[in-house]
Structure 1
Amino acid sequence: MTHTTAHADNGHLSTVQRWSSRALHWLHTAHQHNRGHRLDGMTADPADPNSTYKPLGECALAASLILREGVAGADDLRAARSLLDSCWRQLQDGDLLYERQLRHLTLTDPLELYAHFFRAGYHHRPLEKLLAEYADLCAPHVVEMVPNRRLAVANARRITGIGTEPDWGRLAEQTWLGATPEPWAIDWKTGYDITHTVFHLTDWGARPKGLPADLAAYLRAWLPVWVDIWLEVGQWDLVGELLIVDACIGDPVCGPEPFRQLAAVQHDDGLTPRDSDTVTDDLHQAVADHEHTAVVAVVTGTLTLSRALGAAAASAPA
């Protein structure tokens, strides 16, 4: 019985690793070929941050977590570093972030993006100095934003060491998840709000104890239900985000089946569709539509493998 279980676990982890690695290399190829033309004419004030600027930060996040966790193979590590280098160059080695922050005192996205590069060893000293100066002012701390976004800013400050430590418990209480409301009240947008609350409280799984115990218990009870619901309706991107949560809160509760289904819908070239809608044949539009889901696949796979391997090492006989 023990041998059979171990074999099944190894098969599950192989599925996770293959799905995540293929998504990473799809992302890397897309950036090598500049599909989507996100960077043409990009400045410190992009006309559409969601289609030009924000995706760079998301790719940097995924790559930085691969390097942080250290469980990927040599090819994936090289691809992650190459992707980070490409994103950093496209941000003009951080100058674009500096200029954007200099022009806009209360914008938080330069800090949030910079944190992903900082995590992986990239530095822009003038930006760090500017962020430290702004952290002493009142205005950046009272910008009105949704609660889980405030957690994102707090975690970026924690990663970079800029600013004072916030009251994490109070920040958590202000979120939807912090109230542990009726679980059937969840909707698509709230699902994403929940995931991001967990990501930032735990620093993408590095600090699982950063999630209050009552919230962790609530998630362990309801994550499998929510995952089943969004699997049934084909919302693959949200399923992936919920599986990241599963990797951030301790012992996973969702099992191997969601990963099997996500791997089954992945295309031969590594694209994982965001939902069950038909994927366009236009390569540039396909990247625009499904890049976020590739990022989610990379992060999900990286954290799931890291937690599984760490748990196996911890339980191995001395």
Structure 2
Amino acid sequence: MSAPAPAPVPRSARQVTGRALGWLRRHCELGVLPPGTTAELAHPDSVYKPLGETALAGSLVLREERADPRDHKAARELLDFAWWELRGGDMLYERQLRYLMMTDPLELYTHFVRAGYRHRRLDALLEHLYGVVTPYAVEQVPNRRLAIANAARLMGLDRATGRGIDWKLLTDATWLGNTPEPWAVDWMTAYSMTHTVFHLTDWGARPGELPPHLEEYLQLWLPVWLEVWREVEEWDLFAELLIVGACLREPYLDPAAWAELAAVQHEDGLVPRDGKAVDGDAGRRFRDHHHPTVVAAVAGTLALARVPPSGGPHGPSPEAAR
């Protein structure tokens, strides 16, 4: 007997997104900043960075009109929560003012700007900083330079300051930009590759910004990489690769891959980081699996946004699947 056909992409993506956002909303208070936290942030990856990731997911849900209204509500509540934790943007302003070469305040802020939140003093500070040399002289790995460039583009700083962005130069410096031997990719390089695509396309909003030769390369090798990381059960990276598929000019939306992600997601919405057992108390589960759950929410949101209205080869449209 043959195996049952996988569910259409919209059905799987909607399930993954709704459950993931629900889990993030119900558990967000496990990710509050410790009392007395200042802009110095001795351990920025512990809570500060996850707040930014939560804001990213929320902002992309609100950006896409085809998202479920319930998901819009959860996304807005998550953004309000993260904005509150960052003291209405004051913490981002104070961090940027004190550490002029830090780029994370700009990058986190753009997620909120995408969703309509503004901080007047931070706006003025960023416009000033990006009119001088220092932010551009900060030494970063190539895909991180693209992250900063995309944040500046989203804020309009490239236009406001008259500093254009040489996207070809930035892209050519990345691993993906050189279209290397695809079988040589390792775990960390794969993450860098995904983020090159995210920033070039502003998380799928600008698929046309991906150079044609990179589109061709990814259309050929993305299915292979998905299979590799599916076999080793690296679900965080697997979901990031699904985001890449949704960012292409011709989106790669494989029903079997989406069914796989939906199958590994827990009933409560948590998406495991990898194939190891998910254990520990609620706090430990949140710390260990917050990132893959955010990534899954983003992947589902973008997949639903890129499914052709007629459903195409990947199943019916989101409206027809309801």
Counterparts of 1:50 and 1:10, CA distance in 2: 36
- Per the TM alignment, residue 255 of structure 1 is displaced from its structure 2 partner at its CA by 1.1
- Per the TM alignment, residue 15 of structure 1 is displaced from its structure 2 partner at its CA by 1.4
- Per the TM alignment, residue 12 of structure 1 is displaced from its structure 2 partner at its CA by 2.9
Give CA-to-partner distance per residue, 1:92-115, whole Å, 9 cap, x none.
000000000000111000000000
Structure 1: which 4+ aligned runs deviate by more than 2 Å? 8-12, 36-42, 250-254, 309-313
Counterparts of 2:57 and 2:130, CA distance in 1: 26
- Residue 26 in structure 1 maps to residue 23 in structure 2: yes
- Give TM-score scaled by structure 1 length: 0.92
Identity of aligned residues (%): 53
Counterpart amino acid of residue 28 in structure 1: R
Counterparts of 1:62 and 1:204, CA distance in 2: 10
Deviates more, 1:224-233 or 1:272-281: 272-281
Tell me the equivalent position of 1:304.
Answer: 303
Counterpart amino acid of residue 73 in structure 2: R
1:70-219 to 2 correspondence within 5 Å? Answer: 70-163=65-158, 164-219=163-218
Tell me the equivalent position of 1:264.
Answer: 263
Counterpart amino acid of residue 179 in structure 1: N
Counterparts of 1:273 and 1:312, CA distance in 2: 29
Tell me the equivalent position of 1:11.
Answer: 8
Counterparts of 1:165 and 1:89, CA distance in 2: 33
Q: Number of aligned pairs?
A: 306
Give CA-to-partner distance per residue, 1:238-265, whole Å, 9 cap, x none.
0100010000012233511111111111
Q: Contact between 1:180 and 1:218, CA under 8 Å: does it hold in 2?
A: yes
1:35-54 to 2 correspondence within 5 Å? Answer: 35-54=30-49
- Give TM-score scaled by structure 2 length: 0.91
Counterparts of 2:152 and 2:127, CA distance in 1: 10
Counterpart amino acid of residue 26 in structure 2: T
Q: Contact between 2:253 and 2:303, CA under 8 Å: does it hold in 1?
A: no
Give CA-to-partner distance per residue, 1:125-179, whole Å, 9 cap, x none.
1001001111121111110010000000000011111133300011000000000
RMSD (Å) for aligned C-alpha atoms: 1.8
Counterpart amino acid of residue 78 in structure 1: K
- Per the TM alignment, residue 9 of structure 1 is displaced from its structure 2 partner at its CA by 8.9
Counterpart amino acid of residue 18 in structure 1: Q
Gaps of 5+ in 1: 1-7
Gaps of 5+ in 2: 318-322
Counterparts of 2:37 and 2:212, CA distance in 1: 43
Counterpart amino acid of residue 210 in structure 2: L
Counterparts of 1:28 and 1:84, CA distance in 2: 10
